[in-house]
Amino acid sequence: MTCVTPSPGCGSVEAYDGRRSVSSTLLSRRDLRFLLYEWLDAPRLTERPRYAEHSRETFDDVLDLAERVAAEHFAPHNRAADTSEPVVDGGRVRMIPQVKAALEVFAGTGLLGASMDESVGGMQLPHVVSAAAFGFLQAANVSTAAYPFLTLGNANLLLAHGSAAQVDTFVRPMVEGRFFGTMCLSEPQAGSSLADITTRAEPQDDGSHRLFGTKMWISGGDHELAENIVHLVLARIPGGPPGVKGISLFIVPKVLVGSDGTLGARNDVVLVGLNHKMGYRGTTNTLLNFGEGVHRPDGRPGAVGYLVGEPHQGLAQMFHMMNEARIGVGAGATALGYTGYLKSLAYARQRPQGRPLADKDPTVPQVPIVAHPDVRRMLLAQKSYVEGALALVLYCGRLLDEEKTAPDPADRARAHLLLDMLTPVTKSWPSQWCLAANDLAIQVHGGYGYTRDYDVEQHWRDNRLNPIHEGTHGIQALDLLGRKATMDGGAGLSLLLETISATVSRAWKADGEAAELAAQLGAAVDRIAGTTRRLWATGDPALALANASLYLEAVGHVVVAWMWLEQLLAVDAATGAAAGGAAAGGAAAGGGDADAAFYAGKRQAARYFFRFELPRTTARFDLLDGLDRTTLDMRDEWF
């Protein structure tokens, strides 16, 4: 698809001259090649039995396919799904037909089960590659991509914790795209406080349960995009322990499924209404009642549910899906920031306005706005955010592959612990800073940026939901400082700092610019260690956690600086220009060679992040070290 004039839903301002395709402004294939092959060495994974059927060629084929589906079937209706959001009509959800058509195409590719076992219909693709492929869909149309995103997490949870019969009945149809999945946690009176949920699950003589209660903010909770919807529902079995220790997990299908896989009666799950959001408008967001009695399976009220695993283990099981979803939310935020960056870059290159400051001649032709230093600043900031975030997301995908397939059990355990430590950062940092990238993309467009003639205003609205999705910024901060940094005597934090320090050591040995940046990063690592000790030395959890969000932001910036130093080292390895990198990069950028320009751009983005962004952490660490009580001591009546 190409566009010759700006139009709603076009998906690409770079396509306005009719020469470039939509896919050129979704994600950068050159960046993906660099990250997957020159940095993370994804092809080496094919030496392991699980991935032995794959090669770099199959990885590229998957990326080609995902990019094509995203550009041809997801991007074209992105604007239409936003302006014509789902509605309830006679108790049924109605939405534009392009959503279902796109999902049917995607299901037909087999990519929904890309990283799953072949035994359930998957492709056993490395997670790092499947994450890159799915990023195209999220960049093209994040609201349509949300349906398979939720389904994938649902299926993976059941593969980890469900019975063989549950896998056969529910997972296989999800991998085929016939069933979609959800996660049902929140309730109107509880919100994020899952200890306060009240949905109950009453045991039945046949081993099933009947559920009664209300769930709120359920994405994908009702629609007619698939034959069935498989809800994973947190509920309490009467008599169980109070709080989170009494929560169990249940499979509650919208339509009951027979032992032979055929669809049966409608389950007692009722759509109460849709929530209307500022973004992700094509994704239904629902209020659901379970056990209202509108539908009466076997003539009785109550939503039929099937216990997953053991009773009272529901929250631990649901965290399998929640943690996967948290990284996925970070990936979606990254994709939205990335496509916004590429579109603002394309706009800046083709939008003539003004003249160089040194040239006052009004008869001289105007220059593209990319020539103006402040526009370059905004573009460089976006580049540093989105390419740093993408590196972090794919690094986490590589850790997941290590956790699953590393030959040495110790390496698997290490990958698991490091991934656990990075999860709140990977969820929250892109959700904050790729949103900032979208804000800058609007600014680059000037007055056009906040009109609906260009995509960037929608990308900002869509991305604004991600700091709330799957646990707010504050919840991730409490998780990082209150749990992850202290668990097992601080083993996770120690591993993270040791891993970053190993990169610092490599950079020192590389000399040149890498060594200069290593000195800054090494100092920042020391600040994390010292500040964490300082906060917890008080013995006062309330004081330690009062400014946890600042801790998350500071640690997140250090982690992304680490990602940039890793990328710089990979550039040095590719170019053989460790020493004197600045001069080599400048020459390459002016030489017209595409690879040389790419590497020079990577160097410059790394410099930007270390000069403009990493110094932000100093003030945050200083405030944290001072045990500031300003927010803690604020009283309600003073507002």
184 with 233: CB under 8 angstroms? yes
293 with 279: CB under 8 angstroms? no
Residue 340: which H helix or E strand, with range?
A: helix 314-350
Q: Which residues of 451-487 are buried (b: 16+ CB within 10 A; e: fewer)?
A: eeebbbbbbbbbbbbbbebbbbbebbbbbbbbebbbe
Dist CA 74 CA 79 (whole Å):
10
Give the position of tokens 């009240």.
198
- Residue 484 identity: K
Give the position of tokens 């290590």.
402
Give CB contacts under 8 A, 24+ apart, made by 501-508: 501/525, 503/562, 503/565, 503/566, 503/569, 504/565, 506/569, 507/565, 507/568, 507/569
156 with 164: CB under 8 angstroms? no
Which candidate, 162, 175, 476, 211, places its Cα nearest to that of 325? 476
470 belongs to the catalytic site: yes
Active-site position among 470, 513, 553, 566? 470
Dist CA 484 CA 12 (whole Å):
40
Distances (CA, A) of 268 to 165, 204, 250, 505: 22, 15, 14, 60
54 with 125: CB under 8 angstroms? yes
Give CB contacts under 8 A, 24+ apart, made by 560-563: 560/388, 560/389, 560/391, 560/392, 560/429, 560/433, 560/609, 560/613, 561/517, 561/520, 561/521, 561/524, 561/609, 561/610, 561/613, 561/614, 562/500, 562/503, 562/521, 563/388, 563/391, 563/392, 563/395
Which candidate, 205, 295, 203, places its Cα nearest to that of 256? 295
β-pairing verdict for 200-203 and 209-219: antiparallel
At residue 265, the 3 state secondary structure works out as strand
Dist CA 317 CA 200 (whole Å):
18
412 with 48: CB under 8 angstroms? no
Distances (CA, A) of 265 to 207, 208, 255, 365, 391: 18, 15, 6, 70, 46
What are the backbone angles phi and psi of residue 545, rounded to the nearest 5°?
Answer: -100, 0
β-pairing verdict for 228-236 and 179-184: parallel
Instruction: Name the CA radius of gyration of the chain, rounded.
Output: 25
Which residues are bridge partners to 88 per DSSP? 93
Assigned token pair, 636: 């309600």
Torsion angle (degrees, nearest 10) of CA 495, 497, 498, 503: 130
Dist CA 272 CA 420 (whole Å):
36
Dist CA 16 CA 10 (whole Å):
9
What are the backbone angles phi and psi of residue 202, rounded to the nearest 5°?
Answer: -95, 125
Which residues participate in catalysis according to the annotation?
Answer: 470
